[in-house]
């Protein structure tokens, strides 16, 4: 069974914490979990400053609001298709 992105991230964070509790060095943990030592350090610092509950994956932030509306995007797409058709006719 393949884990979803959020579940996979939480699993890796939990692995980092568990390996630290077992006495592994940050470099060893980084190699075992295929992360950088810097990332391992950040995760362990987060646990130290907050708590083990901080190992839950953070929600992704919404991106910037689209500058163009739906109609404008559709119009732009139509123009792009027309330009591509003209280029195709010119070069073929």
pLDDT in tens, 33-78: 888 999 999 999 988 888 776 677 666 566 677 777 888 878 878 8
pLDDT at 90: 59
Answer yes or no: are the C-beta atoms of 28 and 19 closer than 8 Å: yes
pLDDT at 62: 63
Token pair for 56: 């839950």
Question: What φ, ψ does residue 39 adopt, rounded to 5°?
Answer: -65, -45
CA nearest to 9, candidates 45, 35, 41, 48: 35
């Amino acid at each position: 069974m393949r884990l979803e992105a959020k579940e996979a991230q939480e699993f890796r964070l939990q692995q980092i914490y568990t390996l630290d509790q077992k006495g592994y060095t940050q470099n060893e943990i980084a190699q075992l979990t295929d992360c950088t030592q810097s990332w391992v350090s950040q995760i362990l610092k987060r646990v130290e400053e907050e708590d083990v509950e901080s190992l839950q994956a953070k929600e992704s932030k919404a991106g910037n609001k689209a500058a163009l509306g739906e109609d404008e995007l559709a119009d732009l797409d139509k123009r792009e298709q027309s330009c591509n058709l003209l280029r195709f006719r010119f070069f073929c």
